[in-house]
Every structure is written in structure tokens, then in C-alpha cells.
Amino acid sequence: MKRVQLESFYGTVKISDLDQTSLMNLSDKMGLSLNIEELIRLRHYFLKMGRDPTETELQAMGQAWSEHCCYKSSKFYLKKYLGGLKTDYTVLAMEDDAGIVRIEGDTNYAVKMESHNHPSAIEPYGGAATGVGGILRDILCMGAQPIAVIDSLYLGDGKSVKKSGMLNTKFLVNMVVGGIRDYGNRVGIPTVAGHLFFGKEFEGVPLVNAGCIGIVKDKDIRRSRVGGNGEILILAGGKTGRDGIHGVNFASRTLVSDNAENRKAVQLGNPIIKEPLIHAILEANSAGLISGMKDLGGGGLSSAAGEMCLAGETGGEIHLEKVLLKESNMSPWEIWVSESQERMLLSTHEDDVEKISEIMERWDIDHSVIGKSVPGKRMKLFFKDKIVMDLPLEFLTSGPVYAKPYFKGKEEAKHWIQPPDPDDFNIDLEQFFTDYNNSSKFNVVRQYDFTVRGDTVIKPVVGMPNRETHSDGAVMRVSDDGYYGIGITSGCNISAMNEDPYIGTIATLSRSYTNLLSLGCNPHSVVDSLNFGNPDKMKIMSQFVESVKAIGDFCRKTKLPVVAGNVSFYNELEGNDIPPTPNILLTGLIKDYRKVMTPEFKGENNAILVAGSSSGNLAGSLYAAKKGLTGGSLDRVDLNELLNLKERLLRCNEESLLESAHDISAGGLAIAILEMSFGSGTGFKIDLSGYSDERFLNKMYSESGNRIIMEVREENVEKVLEIFGEMEISRIGFTVGERAEIWNDAQKLIDLEISNLRNIWEHGLDGLI
Amino acid sequence: MVRIRIEISYLEGVEDPEASTLHHNLGVLGYDTVEDTRIMKIYELSFSEDTHTAMGMAKSIAENLLINPVINKYDIIVIGEEE
């Protein structure tokens, strides 16, 4: 056996003679979050090397093999079901920090969404803010100019008893929204789309998913790899501190109330550094000075430098004392794994270092040369001339892959959800609107700057002044030349996910799909942010596998690429897991954004048509959830119908036959048509007698099927019906006055003033935020 | 009556964007010997209690309302006692 001179390594930790219990104790003490099999593999490896590991090496392994960094529980299934989902317009999918998709010619968009759940649970303001900061860097490191931020939040409803040691819901909601607002608004990138869901299941386990879209020309695309041997590595942006140490390890286990170890895992962002950093990086990149770059997120320098060198097929030598620090007395392992914000690692040719330095200095960005890429495939770290790590990159990144067992458990019998008719449908509807999930989200959305940079064509708030409603998604202008627009929508159908992870995921995707169709956009690419409970439980693993399978099936059928994603496990508190939450960010394109549609009614005496079929099923609907009815049997979503709907609706929009369009989603037809009214104050009169043979309640609140409500001028009705041909389409009424009148079987069951209803809707969240 | 001051500051190592921006700008203005800058919040509360009870209450107020233990620490100082 080869003996290595121990003296040359700094800070070794003796593990060769430790038994299993002592190994586990060591892992706990050092905060590694590795399991016993992984620790034994580590010990075995170092025994073979003939030496004990250093503290830095152990910490680096803890980072690299964490769930967060190596996707050990999810990789197998992601590959199995989402592998090969590419199209000819996909430039980069599931490879680097963000996906890249071609729009036209040499113009592309970069897109990514990530969760920032664990930090947001314990420090919601900083957690949510750094979620935005992190996703901006993911887009920036591809060489793209960020143009839009997207945020999907799943929060407790504040109606259940607060769990001990966890933050109060009202505080948490305000802080999460405040973090996104303060970071996004200060960094100067608009927050344009997202989703907001309140449910008791998320009490103490909030989900904060942040997404970003950027625009990049072919020549500016940069990979997350060094350009070759002898390249210089520059660390630029914020200084390195003790904040955020063990963030990834912490995100790879279950939350425990009042755990002091959680504390160091939190970071606060600094958008004032990020704003000039974006300018400096883009300037250096377009001057061709950067050969590869990566942002420092989870795992810090350890993860970024290791992955860049491995992908560039080189080794690396890094001098940790050259890293600029916030605190002077940091140990080498702390520098190596710190997750301090606002940092980017750049790889450049020796001759260009000075030019990069000049640009960084002009933008007032701290930076330092920390090392270089070298031949061979080892990562060697020095700290004041002592070796603190020397490991082959392949071993470092060869994290275990588990095909974790899954089992659905015994399924309970499903039934047809049948709530009783209310005494008065009007009062019932008004009460339905008081629910957080049905009310307007203005109190949140209006805190965000959604127009900065001047590229927002469709804002999250649309309609007549002082009578706005929500749009189905945002549309962003791509460039000064031409009229290409990118449609963005993001969300998850939690009430359907609660009933069935497979059908729920398909329903989530089809809802995002119809959102984009309502805007007039052609769905183009999918990004998934998969939030689940504890993967060590077979039931949770089964939810995950079903959900990923559904994404694969949906995308194969609709020919959409999955270009980026992220998995967040261990969203669990005191044994209670969150509902499966695959948050989908769907991006679409429209060739001429002047043709984009909005949901508000445009005028009186226009026909109201509903395209698409519905079974009237209330399972998985918000109405059923509000009445406390679960265990319903969900309908399978008819994807052929969805594709037909797309083709016909987009053709109608192309021929400018539609005044407005809005998809029927959360809350069913009732909420959808009222949201159209709220945007202009125009009322409507509809008769649902001939719409289907279901009960009135089911016609009003069912969320099943792929349906879109359209407002059509009388003279265009025939043409629209002709385009829809044999596809199911019904004319249910017309726009008129300022009241909502809904008839069924010759009875006027709803008769309410739009302005009164809108008032309830608009102020639904007032008590919370 | 007891007057108590509660000083809230960031835990060591937590990023303080406001302080670092201030520190940076001091350098720009030529005050380049300023080594470090910290910003903290001060609350002053008056209690109609004896000092010992008031200190306990101030501690409870700080922990339950004023700080987030994940990023903040606090100091309690008695600044005045009157009969």
C-alpha cells in the first residue's frame, strides 16, 4: 500500500480507525449530512489512498455528495423519464446552470427555475431574496441578459395552529414577499409572473420557487466549464464570509424546529452588488474575454470550481488565501464551502486577466485571481503554501445514485365528489371569493416592479385603470428589432396534486399550456421545479416518480422540451410532508406581440363562447377543497383535445377574431368569467342550461378539461365556429351591463353587481398582507 | 420606572448590505481609515416595573418580537432607574 506523507496535508481528521457509530457522530459534528454507507465508502477510499482526509476534503465531500448537489435520490428517475426530451430548437437542455432555447436566427432565451425552500422557512426575507439573486446568476452565467423574474410561492394559510419553533404565517408571507420585492426591485429586473397558493399543508414548510428568463445571442453563450489547461480562474462579486455554510447539507435533510445548526446556513443577499455585477459580466463576456463561467450557489466554490474543471476536462489548483474575505480568521474549509451570495467564478485566458480587471474596477466589483486550470484531473487546494485538499475530481463528483424504492401504499376508494346545493348560490359565490386562493393577488403583485427595463408587454395586472384583473401570464419583448414576445406562466395545481400525483401533474401542465394559449402564445419549453417531502418514505418517492413520469408523458405528446429543472426533497416538518408540488414554468412564443390577448371583456354585446369539453367533475377543485371534500376521482386530461384547442385558438388569434380569452382553471368557469368582467367592469348574461347535463354547481366550479372562454364580436362568431369545426364549443351568452347574470334551466341563479363582487375579490388578502 | 435599551445587531458573518454600502461610500469620500462599519437598531422602552422584572420582560420582547435569532443578536442595557 502506498504511504502518503501526512505532514504535507493541513488539518487531517483521523477516520481510518473509526467504527460506524463514531463515523456517524463525526458526520453530525461536522454537519456533513452523509449517511453511513457514504461514510464507509469515503473511509474505504482514503484507506486505499494510504492517508486520512483533511477537514476540507471531508467538507467538500459532504457538499458534493449532498442531495442538493448530486441529486442522488432523483437522478435515476429523472434520466429514465425525462431523458431525450429535446427538440430541434433546444440549444442546451439539462446540462449547465440554465436551459437555452432558440427563438429565431441567433437569438435565444435562457431559462431556469429553482427552489429556495429551506432558507425561506427559517429566514424568509433573506431566503426569498437570495432565491431571486441565485436564479439571476444562473441566467447570467450562461452569458444572458436577465429580463424577467418569476416567483411561485406556496405558503401556510395562517388558519391552523402555529407549530412550535416555526415562524408565524403572516410574518412569513410578508417577509417572503418583501425579500422578493426588495431584491428584484433594487437589482432592476422586473418580477412579472408567478403563482401564490395558500394551504395548511405548507404551514411551517413554505415553498419559494424563483425563476428567471434571459436573452442571449449565439456568440455570447458561455458554458459552465474552463476553456482548457492554463486558464486563469477569477472570483468576482461579493466577498466570501461565513454566511451560508452548509446550506446544501441543510437543504438535504428534514427541517427541525429551533436547530442552532440551521443558523449558519442562511444568507442575506446584496442586490446593490449584483446590479453592477450583471453589467460587468455582460460587458466582459460580449468583449469575448470570458471562456467559461459559473455562479456560486449551493456548495459554493467547492461545487463551482470542481464542476467547471471537470466539465472542461482539466484539473485545478486553487489558493484559498487569495479569496477575498469578509472575516479575516476563516479556516480553509469554510472558504471552500461558504455559500456567500453575489459571487461568480470566471475562467479566462492569461492575456485577458488585466482587461477583465479593468472592467471589474470600472464597475467597482471586488475580484481576485484565485487559481488556474492544470493538466490532469485532480483538484488541489492550497492555503498559505499548505495542501488542504488533493482529490481526483471524478471521485469528488461521483456521488451515489439511488434508485430508491417506491410504493404507493394501499389506495383508498375514490368517489364522485357531490357537495350539496347551497341555499343561495349568490351568497355561496361571494363566500367562495373570500378564500385566499380565489381572491386577487394585487396586494402581493403590486409590491413588485413589473415594468422596469421597459420590456414588459403584458403585465401581471391588466385591464382598465382602477378595474384591473390578473393576466394569464406575462409577455416580454425579446429585442428592439422585430416583434417576438416570450409568454411566461408558472404554477402548480395543488388541489389536483392532493388527489393524484400523475393526473395532477398532467393537469398542472395543461393548465399552464392553456394559460399561454389564452395569451396567444405557442407553448415552447418546460422547466420543472420539483418540490417533494422526504424521499426516504416510499410513498413520497412514489409521488415523485409518478409526477416525473407525467411530465415525460405530457412533453412527449405535446412535443415540448424539458430544458432545465431542480429537485427539492425533505420538505417535511415533524413527520408531515408537503403535498407533491411540481411547479411548472412554461414558456411560449408569439411572433408578433401586438397580437397578444388579455382576459378582460372589451365591450358590450359580444358573444361569450367556451371551447373545450368538461366532465363537470369537482374532484381536485378549489370548490371541493373549500367544502372539505377530498378523495375524489380525477379525470384524465385529454391531450389530443388540448392540441386541437391550441391549433384552433392560435389560428383564431392570428386572424384577429377574438376580443379576449381566458382559460378556465382554479375556481372553474365561475371565477374565470368573473375575472374577465373585473378587468373592465363589463357584465354578462349567460345561460348554462345547454352547456352540459351536469348540476349547476358542477358547471360553475368544475376545473376539469382544457377549456378557454372567448369573447367574440357577433360578426366573427360564425368564422370562429367554423375554425373550431368538430371540436366542442358552446355559445353560452353575451357581454352586457354591469351585472353578472347566470341562468340555468330557466332560473336566474346568480345575479350580482360586478363592482361589489370585485370589491370582495380585490381585498381578499387584506387581512394577511 | 426603569428605562431599558435593547440593541439589535446582525450576528457575526451575516451580510449587512446597508453597512457595506456605507463603508464603501466612506472610502470613496476619502475616509479610508474606517476599518469596519456596522449598523444596528436601538429600542428604548420604559417600564413601570422593578429592574429585575423589566429586564426579563425586555428579554422576552426582544426574543418574541424584535429579532430573528437566525440573523440577529441583542443586548439589553438599563439606562435609567427612577423611584
Three cell numbers, residue A522: 405557442
Are residues B14 and A268, on separate chains, in Cβ contact within 8 Å? yes
Phi-psi region of A727 (alpha: psi -120 to 50; beta: other; left: phi over 0): beta
Rounded to 5 degrees, φ, ψ at A459 are: -85, 165
Are residues B17 and A272, on separate chains, in Cβ contact within 8 Å? yes
For residue A327, the chain B residues in CB contact (below 8 A) are 12-13
Q: Where are the beta strands (DSSP E) in B11-58?
A: 41-47
**Mutation to test the A interface, candidates B26, B70, B72, B73, most A Cβ within 10 Å:** B70
Q: Give the closest residue to A13 by CA, choosing from A380, A337, A396, A333.
A: A333
Per-residue model confidence as pLDDT tens digits over A670-691: 999 999 999 999 999 999 998 8
Burial (CB count <10 Å: 0-12, 13-18, 19+), residue A454? exposed
pTM of the predicted model, to two decimals?
Answer: 0.90
Whether residue A659 is predicted with pLDDT greater than 50 in this model: the reply is yes
Nearest CA in chain A to B17: A270
**Chain-centre distance of CA A472, in angstroms?**
17
Per-residue model confidence as pLDDT tens digits over A221-232: 999 999 999 999
Element (H, E) at A394: helix A393-396
Q: Chain B closest CA to A263's CA: distance in Å? A: 5
Are residues A243 and B68, on separate chains, in Cβ contact within 8 Å? no
Are residues B15 and A340, on separate chains, in Cβ contact within 8 Å? yes
Are residues B13 and A327, on separate chains, in Cβ contact within 8 Å? yes
Question: How far is residue A557 from each of residues A84, A510, A584, measured CA to CA in Å?
Answer: 13, 12, 17
The angle formed by the CA atoms of residues A15, A16 and A21, to the nearest 5 degrees, is: 60
Q: Give the closest residue to A401 by CA, choosing from A38, A91, A11, A40.
A: A38
Are residues A243 and B13, on separate chains, in Cβ contact within 8 Å? yes
Query: Would you call B33 an interface residue with chain A, using a CB distance cutoff of 8 Å?
Result: no
**Mutation to test the B interface, candidates A176, A325, A326, A334, most B Cβ within 10 Å:** A326
Q: Chain B closest CA to A192's CA: distance in Å? A: 25
Three-state DSSP class for residue A652: helix
Domain housing B73: 2-81
Are residues A326 and B69, on separate chains, in Cβ contact within 8 Å? no
Average pLDDT over residues A655-665: 96
Whether residue A258 is predicted with pLDDT greater than 80 in this model: the reply is no
Matching residue, cell 412535443: A559
Q: Where are the beta strands (DSSP E) in A356-422?
A: 367-374, 378-383, 386-392
Nearest CA in chain B to A364: B24
Q: Over pLDDT 90: what percentage of chain A?
A: 66
Whether residue A750 is predicted with pLDDT greater than 60 in this model: the reply is yes
Using pLDDT thresholds of 50, 70 and 90, give the confidence band for residue A6: very low
**Mutation to test the B interface, candidates A261, A273, A331, most B Cβ within 10 Å:** A273
How much of chain A is in helix, strand and coil states, percent to nearest 5? 35, 25, 40
DSSP secondary structure of A128-183: HHHHHHHHHHHHHTTT-EEEEEEEEEEE--S-SPPPTTSPPHHHHHHHHHHHHHHH
For residue A262, the chain B residues in CB contact (below 8 A) are 70
**Mutation to test the A interface, candidates B15, B26, B66, most A Cβ within 10 Å:** B15
Matching residue, cell 446590479: A275
Q: Chain B closest CA to A604's CA: distance in Å? A: 53
Per-residue model confidence as pLDDT tens digits over A88-133: 999 999 888 999 999 999 999 999 999 999 888 888 998 999 999 9
Nearest CA in chain A to B72: A263
Strands of the sheet containing A474-477, edge to edge, are: A456-458, A474-477, A485-491, A581-590, A522-531, A562-568
Q: Which of A92-96, A135-139, A359-363, A527-531 has the lowest mean pLDDT?
A: A92-96
Q: A253 or A350: which carries more pLDDT confidence?
A: A350
Using pLDDT thresholds of 50, 70 and 90, give the confidence band for residue A326: confident
* CATH number for position B15: 3.30.1280.10
Q: How does the average pLDDT of chain A come out, rounded?
A: 90
Contact A634, A416 (CB under 8 A): no
Orientation of helix A754-762 relative to helix A425-433, angle to 10°: 30
pLDDT at site A189: 96
Residues 6 or more apart whose CB falls under 8 angstroms from that of A493 comprise: A504, A507, A508, A511, A620, A665, A666, A703
Q: Chain A closest CA to B83's CA: distance in Å? A: 38
Using pLDDT thresholds of 50, 70 and 90, give the confidence band for residue B34: very high
pLDDT at site A406: 85
Per-residue model confidence as pLDDT tens digits over A556-609: 999 999 999 999 999 998 888 999 999 999 999 999 999 999 999 999 999 999
For residue B71, the chain A residues in CB contact (below 8 A) are 123, 126, 263, 266, 268
Work out whether the CA dihedral A648, A649, A651, A656 comes out positive or negative. positive
pLDDT at site A261: 46
Contact A740, A684 (CB under 8 A): yes
Q: Where are the beta strands (DSSP E) in A443-548?
A: 456-458, 461-462, 469-470, 474-477, 485-491, 522-531
Are residues A241 and B15, on separate chains, in Cβ contact within 8 Å? yes
Three cell numbers, residue A546: 409518478
Are residues A242 and B12, on separate chains, in Cβ contact within 8 Å? yes
Per-residue model confidence as pLDDT tens digits over A722-735: 999 999 999 999 99
Are residues A238 and B15, on separate chains, in Cβ contact within 8 Å? yes
Are residues B70 and A271, on separate chains, in Cβ contact within 8 Å? no
Are residues A268 and B16, on separate chains, in Cβ contact within 8 Å? yes
Q: Chain A closest CA to B75's CA: distance in Å? A: 19
Contact A53, A15 (CB under 8 A): yes
Average pLDDT over residues A533-552: 94
Q: Chain A closest CA to B74's CA: distance in Å? A: 15
pLDDT at site A165: 65
Whether residue A366 is predicted with pLDDT greater than 70 in this model: the reply is yes
Q: Over pLDDT 70: what percentage of chain A?
A: 95
Nearest CA in chain A to B69: A263
| Structural domains counted in chain B | 1
Using pLDDT thresholds of 50, 70 and 90, give the confidence band for residue A315: very high
pLDDT at site A614: 87
Whether residue A481 is predicted with pLDDT greater than 70 in this model: the reply is yes
Burial (CB count <10 Å: 0-12, 13-18, 19+), residue A714? exposed
Whether residue A49 is predicted with pLDDT greater than 70 in this model: the reply is yes
- The partner residues of A317 in beta bridges, in order of sequence, read A372, A380
For residue B17, the chain A residues in CB contact (below 8 A) are 268-273
Average pLDDT over residues A362-369: 94
Question: How far is residue A599 from each of residues A402, A442, A585, A677, measured CA to CA in Å?
Answer: 46, 16, 20, 9
Contact A439, A433 (CB under 8 A): yes
**Mutation to test the B interface, candidates A122, A263, A325, A341, most B Cβ within 10 Å:** A263
DSSP secondary structure of A310-371: HHTT-EEEEEGGGS-BSSTT--HHHHHH---SSEEEEEE-GGGHHHHHHHHHHTT--EEEEE
Q: Chain A closest CA to B20's CA: distance in Å? A: 9
Whether residue A452 is predicted with pLDDT greater than 90 in this model: the reply is yes
Q: Which of A584-588, A633-637, A655-659, A698-702 has the lowest mean pLDDT?
A: A633-637
For residue B14, the chain A residues in CB contact (below 8 A) are 243, 266, 268
Q: Chain B closest CA to A240's CA: distance in Å? A: 10
The angle formed by the CA atoms of residues A361, A365 and A368, to the nearest 5 degrees, is: 85
Nearest CA in chain B to A175: B68
pLDDT at site A267: 73
Nearest CA in chain B to A271: B17
Per-residue model confidence as pLDDT tens digits over A214-256: 999 999 999 999 999 999 999 999 889 887 676 666 666 665 5
Are residues A123 and B70, on separate chains, in Cβ contact within 8 Å? yes
Residues 6 or more apart whose CB falls under 8 angstroms from that of A580 comprise: A497, A501, A504, A505, A531, A532, A533, A540, A543, A544, A546, A547
By annotation, the residues of A acting in catalysis are 68, 116
Count interface pairs A-B at CB distance under 8 A. Answer: 44
DSSP secondary structure of A229-271: TTPEEEEEESPB-STTTTHHHHHTS-B-TT-GGGGGG-----H
Q: Give the closest residue to A172 by CA, choosing from A224, A109, A226, A125.
A: A125
Pairing of strands A315-319, A378-383: parallel
Q: How does the average pLDDT of chain B come out, rounded?
A: 90
The rounded distance, in Å, linking the Cα atoms of A701 and A415 is 17
pLDDT at site A633: 87
Q: A16 or A609: which carries more pLDDT confidence?
A: A609
pLDDT at site A251: 61
pLDDT at site A256: 55
Contact B16, B38 (CB under 8 A): yes
Whether residue A303 is predicted with pLDDT greater than 60 in this model: the reply is yes
Burial (CB count <10 Å: 0-12, 13-18, 19+), residue A165? middle
The rounded distance, in Å, linking the Cα atoms of A400 and A477 is 43
Are residues A267 and B15, on separate chains, in Cβ contact within 8 Å? yes
Which of B21, B69, B71 is opposite residue A126, by nearest beta carbon? B71
